[in-house]
């Protein structure tokens, strides 16, 4: 979608595939370099009018987009399950959360947008003023094909930026449905442009000199390449990358309660959440009871087509993803991991990998490198010191959790766990859209690092400080 028009690319047809049954969902002709240039040109041309419309009017358009998405919720949820594979309840929850996200940012239009300061000159007013960055590029992954784009597009647009969006190639139909909703809500031509194409199109987009800000969620290697393409020219860049999230279970916690929460956090969305629990660290006597509970729960998970109401865990997003996750499990077993539980798989085709519970040590590759699927490893620690060391032993720092009733343990974990989100007696996954979300270490790149909450305005605007003194009236003769 370029300058308000749906344009067909010239490349060979590409398709997205339903990972539950290998059927095609959407067929499209990918964009090429000319479309990247045209989209950026359209976004540059639309800047002034969008800026001059004012934030209240822009907020009303976002509010309308929330209403339209709510009207189309079931259609979009069904499409998401077909294209991405997540279960229908998961898709419905994502659509609902996206409606809330759009409402939240729409309402920000009426918040205070600056600060005033006293001046050494009594008549002078000093105040901060927010100005849009200009053209923002948004590059989004397939695991939350609606929610993550909304986190980025809604504040970018609200604060007066025009946008070129490159969604993930595996979920283009959901992306097109969302773009259509924004257009139907009244986003003017050229303000939001969307190009469908491979990662190389995204690389061209972020390297373009007219792009002043880049917001990205995805893998660490792509994030690093975007950093290299943007930072030297002074473009603002915000990125949310992978995670290797640990949960510490203390002996004073209830093993059944901890296991139920952690299986949901590790296996929900088929483990394809950057915040998913990847390592469960059982301290001392917690180990045996916890492992017994986890083993029973993981072995009983029902895996299948996400549109079947009996399904708890859907397929991976694609055959390629399933192959990578299955290979990582095999490698872990070759390296000496113990297989504690594996859920049964459906007989049909599809991109399925059995939810898998392993036991092992921090040296396993699966405990150091992110495996983006339904695989979790239980580790032993003698005491809290060792558990915190293990939790902090990867380059990532997205989320961490601790299960305990001991306030001293809670305080230490909040202080010492190297993660942007620390959860206590709660799943690693899940966050409120009005609270800052972002990782530490390799999981994020600052400027600022958080998404959501007030910090999104800090990323999507430049702040200026204005010093205003009254003018001296020209003396009348």
Query: Which residues form the interface with ligand NDP (CB under 6 A)?
Result: 139-143, 166-170, 198-199, 202-203, 206, 217-219, 222, 225-226, 240-243, 274, 370, 372, 398, 443
What secondary structure does DSSP assign to 40-102, as a single string?
A: HHHHHHTHHHHHHH-HHHHHHHHHHHHHHHHHTHHHHHHHHHHHH---HHHHHHHHHHHHHHH
Name the H helices within 343-406: 384-391
CB of 345 to ligand NDP, least distance (A): 23
Q: Decide if 274 is catalytic.
A: yes
Residue 154 sits at the vertex; the CA angle it makes with 151 and 159, to the nearest 5 degrees, is 125
**Catalytic choice (240, 293, 418, 450):** 240
CB of 222 to ligand NDP, least distance (A): 3
CB of 398 to ligand NDP, least distance (A): 6
CB of 166 to ligand NDP, least distance (A): 6
The tokens of 49 are what?
């009018």
- Which CB, 59 or 243, lies closer to ligand NDP? 243
- Which CB, 243 or 355, lies closer to ligand NDP? 243
- Which CB, 143 or 161, lies closer to ligand NDP? 143
Nearest to 306 by CA among 24, 99, 75, 18: 18
Pairing of strands 135-139, 162-166: parallel
Indicate if the alpha-carbon torsion angle 162, 164, 170, 175 is positive or negative.
positive
- Which CB, 137 or 291, lies closer to ligand NDP? 137
Q: How far apart are alpha carbons 477 and 475 in whole angstroms? A: 6
The tokens of 254 are what?
């209830």
Nearest to 456 by CA among 152, 166, 227, 220: 152
- Which CB, 55 or 95, lies closer to ligand NDP? 95
Nearest to 6 by CA among 205, 139, 193, 202: 193
CB of 446 to ligand NDP, least distance (A): 13
User: How many CA atoms within 13 Å lie on the side-chain side of 193?
Assistant: 30
Q: Decide if 413 is catalytic.
A: no
**Catalytic choice (90, 94, 204, 274):** 274
- What is the three-class DSSP state of 279? strand
CB of 56 to ligand NDP, least distance (A): 30
- Which CB, 101 or 404, lies closer to ligand NDP? 101
Contact criterion met (CB below 8 Å) for 278 and 339: no
Q: How far apart are alpha carbons 434 and 68 in whole angstroms? A: 22
Any idea which residues carry the catalytic annotation? 240, 274
């Amino acid at each position: 979608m370029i300058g308000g028009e749906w344009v067909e690319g010239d490349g060979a047809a590409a398709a997205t595939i339903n990972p539950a049954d290998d059927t095609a969902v959407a067929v499209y002709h990918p964009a090429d370099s000319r479309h990247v240039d045209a989209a950026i040109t359209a976004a540059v041309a639309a800047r002034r009018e969008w800026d001059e419309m004012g934030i209240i009017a822009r907020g009303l358009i976002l509010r309308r987009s929330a209403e339209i998405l709510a009207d189309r919720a079931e259609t979009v949820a069904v499409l998401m399950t077909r294209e991405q594979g997540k279960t229908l309840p998961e898709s419905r929850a994502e659509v609902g959360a996206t409606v809330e996200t759009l409402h939240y940012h729409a309402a920000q239009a009426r918040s205070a947008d600056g600060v005033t300061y006293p001046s050494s000159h009594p008549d002078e007013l000093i105040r901060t003023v927010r100005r849009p960055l200009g053209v923002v590029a948004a590059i989004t992954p397939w695991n939350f094909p609606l929610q993550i784009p909304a986190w980025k597009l809604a504040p970018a647009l609200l604060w007066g930026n025009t946008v070129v969006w490159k969604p993930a190639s595996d979920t283009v139909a959901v992306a097109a449905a969302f773009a259509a909703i924004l257009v139907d809500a009244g986003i003017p031509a050229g303000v939001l442009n969307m190009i469908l194409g491979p990662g190389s199109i995204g690389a061209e987009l972020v390297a373009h000199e007219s792009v002043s800000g880049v917001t990205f969620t995805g893998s660490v290697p792509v994030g690093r390449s975007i950093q290299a393409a943007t930072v030297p020219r002074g473009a603002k860049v915000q990125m949310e990358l992978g995670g290797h999230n640990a949960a510490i279970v203390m002996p004073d916690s209830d093993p059944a309660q901890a296991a139920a929460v952690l299986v949901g956090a590790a296996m929900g969305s088929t483990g394809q959440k950057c915040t998913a629990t990847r390592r469960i660290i059982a301290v001392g006597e917690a180990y045996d009871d916890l492992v017994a509970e986890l083993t029973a729960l993981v072995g009983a998970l029902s895996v299948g087509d996400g549109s079947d109401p009996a399904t708890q865990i859907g397929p991976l997003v694609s055959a390629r993803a399933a192959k990578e996750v299955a290979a990582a499990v095999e490698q872990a077993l070759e390296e000496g991991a113990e297989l504690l539980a594996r859920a049964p798989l459906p007989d049909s085709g599809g991109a399925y990998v059995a939810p898998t519970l392993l036991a092992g040590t921090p040296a396993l590759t699966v405990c150091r490198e992110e495996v983006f699927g339904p695989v979790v490893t239980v580790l032993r620690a003698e005491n809290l010191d060792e558990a915190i060391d293990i939790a902090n032993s990867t380059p990532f720092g997205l989320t961490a959790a601790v299960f305990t009733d001991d306030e001293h343990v809670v305080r230490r974990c909040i202080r010492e766990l190297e993660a942007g989100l620390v959860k206590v007696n709660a799943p690693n996954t899940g966050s409120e859209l009005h609270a800052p979300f972002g990782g530490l270490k390799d999981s994020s790149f600052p400027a600022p690092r958080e998404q959501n909450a007030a910090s999104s305005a800090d990323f999507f605007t430049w702040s200026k400080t204005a010093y205003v003194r009254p003018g001296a009236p020209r003396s009348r003769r």
